[in-house]
Amino acid sequence: MSTLARKPTALTTGWYAAKDCSLGDFREVVEQTTRLADYPHADAVVENVVVYGPRLFDHIGDPGRRRVVQAELAAALLDGPGIVVFKHAFEPAVVDAATGAFDRLITEQKAAGAVVGDHFAKPGANDRVWGALDKLAVADPKAFVTYYANDVLAVVSEAWLGPNYQVTSQVNVVNPGGQAQVAHRDYHLGFMDRAQAQAYPAQVHALSPALTLQGAVAHVDMPVETGPTMYLPYSQKYGPGYVAYHDPAFTEYFDGHFVQLPLEKGDAVFFNPALFHGAGTNRTTDVRRMANLLQVSSAFGRAMETVDTTAICEAIYPELLRSKAEGVDSLRLGNVVTAAAEGYPFPTNLDLDRPVGSLAPQSQAELLQQALDEGWAPARLTEALAAQQGRRRSQAG
């Protein structure tokens, strides 16, 4: 039973349920207007989105003014429209060098017969380079250095996450005719189905977006007909949104109210991962819409100690089998699995460790539980654990 307050933006305890998702409450949150006066360092408000121009570079060069700008950016991402655009954030020549490297990587993938998936679009509709951060570094170190020297990326990442953040990169090319993604929220809770998201208490729904910053750099000019990302400003403020985005009624509302901003090569967009969004349909016949999707993670999303959970799983599995045979109930055995194994499937290598029938690949805990449920021999589990770990390793080198 839900114990949530009716206020849709309140930080509450308890658990969200489907019945807590009110389209009326959602509309109350998202149907508001962005005022340029609230963002003194911005150049414009376009389609309810805050847009910053090159004059921002003068402000962020001074340490004191840099903090003022960062506070403004954080306010826009948290309580404002949830999205900021930086015009001409990357120099065209820097983007072109990285684009060349990404194109070579895509060509190599195709030559090797690789088929890449997509979390929120049909497999094969797009060209993807998963794990593109280290792949770019190995393939073209000079391009990597000039690209990630960019100070806009640093300013907005620090504004949302603080220092010591971790950048990851996934290149997405939506080919001519590529269809739009379904509206969604993003990592972490956005990569779960409704039942999984509902298992996390409401305070986690509120805090999870503070662990990740989503971004995209345009690698080609993106007029609206190419299908740049669709956004619903202010939707990050809706409390049960990680449950609500699975509801067709919310999808229908999104489809009737989203905004799309045309981008030029080198423009960058950053947004709160709880913002309802999705890549648009590429209606052109000749434009491969390439974006470098940047997912920046908080330094705090990590455990304090290094634990060899594979060794633990192998060591305790025979005892788990004996306990099950002796009649120990499944709840208590499940508690052991949770303590012993890695319960979260990320980070991983999405080239190899692909989601099958869900938004995320199988976790180590799910593998251990499957083995226990099906009564695998220990040798079979050892082999499966090794194969799973092999799929999780980066292949950049």
DSSP for residue 390? H
Q: In the listed set 297, 329, 350, which residue is the last one of a domain according to the structure?
A: 297
Largest interatomic CA distance in the chain: 71
Q: In this predicted structure, what is the pLDDT of residue 117?
A: 55
In this structure, are 181 and 288 located in the same domain?
Answer: yes
Q: Name the helix (H) or strand (E) containing 86.
A: strand 83-86
Using the CB atoms, write b or e for 61-87: b if 16+ within 10 Å.
eeeeebeebbebbbebbeebbbbbbbb
Q: Are both 105 and 171 inside the same structural domain?
A: yes
214-242 pLDDT per residue, tens: 999 999 999 999 999 999 999 999 999 99
Q: Is residue 136 domain-shared with residue 207, that is, in the same domain?
A: yes
Last residue within a domain, chosen from 267, 297, 327: 297
Q: Round to whole Å and give the CA distance between 153 and 270.
A: 9
| Higher-confidence position of 133 and 7 | 133
Tokens representing 124? Answer: 């094969």
| Of 105-114, 136-145, 176-185, 188-197, minimum mean pLDDT range | 105-114
Look at residue 107 and tell me whether its pLDDT is greater than 80. yes
- 348-372 b/e with 16+ CB inside 10 Å = b? bbbbbbbbeeeebbbbbbbbbbebb
Cβ-count burial 147-166 (b if 16+ within 10 Å, e if not): bbebebbbbbbbbbbeeebe
Residue 79 has what pLDDT?
96
Q: Tell whether the model's pLDDT for residue 124 goes beyond 80.
A: no
Least confident of 12-21, 78-87, 116-125, 263-272: 116-125
Does residue 100 share a domain with residue 149? yes
The whole-angstrom separation of Cα 295 and Cα 379 is: 37
Based on its alpha-carbon atoms, the radius of gyration of the chain, rounded to whole angstroms, reads: 22
- Residue 377 confidence (pLDDT): 97
Q: Could you tell me the residue range of the domain that residue 160 belongs to? A: 18-297
**Average pLDDT of the residues of the chain:** 91
Do 198 and 233 fall within a single domain? Answer: yes
Same-domain status, 172 and 259: yes
Is residue 397 assigned to a domain? no
pLDDT value at residue 309: 94
* Alpha helix positions (H), the chain: 23-30, 56-60, 63-78, 92-111, 132-139, 141-148, 151-161, 194-198, 202-207, 241-244, 248-257, 309-325, 330-340, 364-374, 378-392
Predicted confidence (pLDDT) per residue in 281-298, tens digit: 999 999 999 999 999 999
Number of structural domains in the chain: 2
Residue 12 lies in a domain: no
Is residue 231 located within the same domain as residue 346? no
pLDDT of 114 > 70? The answer is no
Mean pLDDT (whole number) for 374-386: 97
User: Are 217 and 350 in the same domain?
Assistant: no
Position 303 in a domain: no
Distance CA 52, CA 89 (A): 9
Do 258 and 206 share a structural domain? yes
- What pLDDT does 125 receive? 65
Distance CA 385, CA 125 (A): 31
Task: Identify which has the larger pLDDT, 4 or 15.
Answer: 15
CA distances from 333 to 200, 320, 322, 340, 389 (A): 21, 7, 11, 11, 23
Q: What is the pLDDT of residue 397?
A: 64
User: Does any domain span residue 278?
Assistant: yes
Which pair of tokens denotes residue 221?
């000019």
Residue 2 belongs to a domain: no
pLDDT (0 to 100) of residue 112? 84
Instruction: Let me know whether 195 and 72 are in one domain.
Output: yes
Residue 11: inside a domain, yes or no? no
**Which of 297, 318, 339 is the last residue before a domain boundary?**
297
Q: What percent of the chain has pLDDT over 90?
A: 77
Domain match, 383 and 341 both: yes
- Mean pLDDT along residues 371-397: 93
Question: Residues with Cβ < 8 Å from 329, sequence gap 6 or more?
Answer: none
Sign of torsion over alpha carbons 227, 41, 186, 150? positive
Is 189 a domain residue? yes
CATH of the domain at 54: 2.60.120.620
Give the pLDDT score at 122: 59
Domain shared by 270 and 330, yes or no: no
Q: What is the pLDDT of residue 394?
A: 85
CA distance 381 to 387: 10
Q: Are 321 and 375 in contact (CB under 8 A)?
A: yes
What pLDDT score does 1 carry? 33
Q: Characterise 234 by phi-psi region: left (phi > 0), alpha (psi -120 to 50), beta (else).
A: left
| Nearest partner of 169 among 290, 46, 303, judged by Cα | 290
SS3 of 302, please? coil
pLDDT at 192: 92
Alpha-carbon gap, residue 117 to 123, rounded angstroms? 5
Taking the C-alpha atoms of residue 184 and residue 180, their distance in angstroms, rounded to an integer, is 12
DSSP letter, residue 236: G
Strands (E) located in 184-305: 212-218, 230-231, 259-260, 268-271, 277-278, 289-297
Q: Give the pLDDT confidence score for residue 118 in this predicted structure.
A: 55
Residues 288-324: tens digit of each pLDDT: 999 999 999 999 987 778 889 999 999 999 999 999 9
In the structure, what pLDDT confidence band is assigned to residue 123 with cuts at 50, 70 and 90? low
Residue 5 lies in a domain: no
Q: What is the mean pLDDT of residues 241-245?
A: 97
